[in-house]
Amino acid sequence: MTIKEQLEKISRNTQEIINLEELESKLSRKSKLKVKLGIDPTANSIHLGFAVVLRKFKLFQDLGHETILVLGDFTALIGDPSGKNKTRPMLTQKEIEENLKTYLPQLGKIIDLQKTKIVYNSQWLSNLKPEEIIKLTSRYTLAQMLEREDFKNRYKSNEPISLHELMYPLFQAYDSVYLQADVELGGIDQKFNFIVTRYIQEKYNQEPEVAIMLPILEGIDGVNKMSKSLGNYIGIDEDPLTMFTKIMSINDNLIKRYFQLCTNLPEENIEKFFKIYENPRDIKYILAKEIVSIYHSEEKANKAYEEFVNIYSQKNLPSHIPFFKINSELIDSQNNLNIIEALYAAGILESKAEAKRLLSQGGIYLNGQKLTQKIVKFQKPFIIRIGKFNYYQIEVK
């Protein structure tokens, strides 16, 4: 593949590259670039937002470059302050290990683990002597650090900034120095860290890495970036139906973006869908099928589609309804059951007050009938619906 073709593929759907000329120059000099991707093992599941970056990483693997995955077990102790207005809680070594256990198999769904060199940055960062840390920190100034948006904002609004947080970009930079990275991948929110890294690499007499920054995918709320803590994420390990449903619930104006960032479909196809279909829902169907196919299979995607139409469009019962058990004492000799007690006892709702609220607001249905009073006859099957689409089946122990 020519350099031009590589550049074209690499830069597709990126948000910013610092900078393209350097990348071209590197490609012309080396056939194998060292491509670094740092991940913070603070989460234990990968969502579509991070998948955007991983997919680009996979591209470099396909192009035959050396791909290095840096598991930031050391830097996770600090917590990346990017985009945060609060100090992150420090993770313990144990929590990090737990997270990694579930993390790696998920990574394998997107990237080729065989071709991936996996390293832990504690390998070198933990061995840094205080003298070396001083040397590292002497290369950057407080004013430079405070230029960073998140720090600036926090500083201005009298929010605390712990000293260790200032170290984060420096340690991340040191990773690249240690690994002699040619290219680093990340979200656009990493821009500051990348700039620091390039700067530090030069201070260590290295050629600065090329920073390839990908867009930040919005979560299903359509506003905030996709993140687990905001609860607006779509995990790549979620079951097909959940995934399908979540994709269907994204904002209409995100459809195109999801197509571009989460699927492999060429631009022309995407444009075509918008021409063919009037109802955005139908384009979302294609999108959802496409994404579910990537992480599960085409067959499962089609099944998820059928199930979705069944439940949400035709308002039929889902094919699987979770069972919850209650004690037989809750049912009296007349076969009466207090639905509030039952929902609470079965563990479906957190408190009886919540059950009462839902009942008085008409949010509880028994076998399709809206309940208006709390005493009901127990019958089989006993299928409870809460809200529009949450189904539960109650059985007697």
Partner RNA sequence: GGGCAGGUGGCCGAGCGGUCAAAGGCAUGGGACUGUAAAUCCCACGGGCGAGAGCCCUUCAGUGGUUCAAAUCCACUCCUGCCCA
> Which CB atom, from 139 or from 356, has the smaller least distance to RNA?
356
Looking at 138, 158, 205, 334, which residue binds RNA (CB under 7 A)?
Answer: 158
Tell me how far, at minimum, the Cβ of 282 lies from RNA, in Å: 7
Looking at 350, 367, 377, 381, which residue binds RNA (CB under 7 A)?
Answer: 350
Tell me the angle at which helices 20-29 and 3-11 cross, rounded to the nearest 10 degrees.
140
User: How many Cβ atoms from other residues are within 10 Å of residue 41's Cβ?
Assistant: 22
The pair phi, psi for residue 263, each rounded to 5°, is -125, 170
Tell me how far, at minimum, the Cβ of 16 lies from RNA, in Å: 28
Q: Across the beta sheet with 210-214, what order do the strands follow?
A: 16-18, 210-214, 183-187, 34-39, 66-71, 116-120
Which whole-number Å values give the CA distances from 367 to 371, 378, 392, in the listed order?
10, 11, 10
Q: Which two tokens stand for residue 37?
A: 């991707």
The CA distance from 236 to 243, in Å, is 8
Binding positions for RNA, 160-179, rule CB under 7 A: 160-161
The CA distance from 277 to 262, in Å, is 20
Sequence-ordered list of residues with C-beta below 8 angstroms from that of 134, at least 6 positions apart, any chain: none
The CA distance from 50 to 110, in Å, is 11
Binding positions for RNA, 194-233, rule CB under 7 A: 221-222, 231
Size of the site for RNA (CB under 7 A): 36
> Which CB atom, from 202 or from 239, has the smaller least distance to RNA?
239
Looking at 25, 237, 363, 396, which residue binds RNA (CB under 7 A)?
Answer: 363
Q: Are the C-beta atoms of residues 174 and 200 closer than 8 Å to each other?
A: yes
> Which CB atom, from 70 or from 226, has the smaller least distance to RNA?
226
Torsion over CA: 130, 134, 137, 141 (sign): positive
Instruction: For tokens 């945060």, name the residue.
Output: 84
Mapped onto helix, strand or coil, the DSSP state of residue 181 is: coil
Tell me which residue of 188, 255, 250, 193 sits closest to 222, measured CA to CA.
250
Site string for RNA, 18-47 (x = CB under 7 A): ------------------------------
Bridge-partner residues for 6, per DSSP? none
The CA distance from 291 to 71, in Å, is 26
> Which CB atom, from 178 or from 365, has the smaller least distance to RNA?
365
Q: Which stretch binds RNA (CB under 7 A): 27-35, 57-65, 165-173, 273-281?
A: 273-281
Looking at 57, 273, 295, 344, which residue binds RNA (CB under 7 A)?
Answer: 344
Tell me how far, at minimum, the Cβ of 387 lies from RNA, in Å: 2
Tell me how far, at minimum, the Cβ of 239 lies from RNA, in Å: 17
Looking at 120, 178, 312, 391, which residue binds RNA (CB under 7 A)?
Answer: 312
Tell me how far, at minimum, the Cβ of 319 lies from RNA, in Å: 17
> Which CB atom, from 43 or from 220, has the smaller least distance to RNA?
220
313 near RNA, judged by CB under 7 A: yes
Tell me how far, at minimum, the Cβ of 354 lies from RNA, in Å: 5
Tell me how far, at minimum, the Cβ of 105 lies from RNA, in Å: 29
Tell me how far, at minimum, the Cβ of 347 lies from RNA, in Å: 12
Tell me how far, at minimum, the Cβ of 203 lies from RNA, in Å: 28
Looking at 108, 297, 353, 369, which residue binds RNA (CB under 7 A)?
Answer: 353
Question: Cα–chain-centroid distance for residue 210?
Answer: 24
Instruction: For tokens 């205080």, name the residue.
Output: 130
Instruction: For tokens 């269907």, name the residue.
Output: 248
Tell me how far, at minimum, the Cβ of 236 lies from RNA, in Å: 19
> In the complex, which residues of this chain contact RNA (CB under 7 A)?
155, 158-161, 221-222, 231, 248-252, 279-281, 284-285, 312-313, 344, 350-354, 356-358, 361-363, 386-388, 390
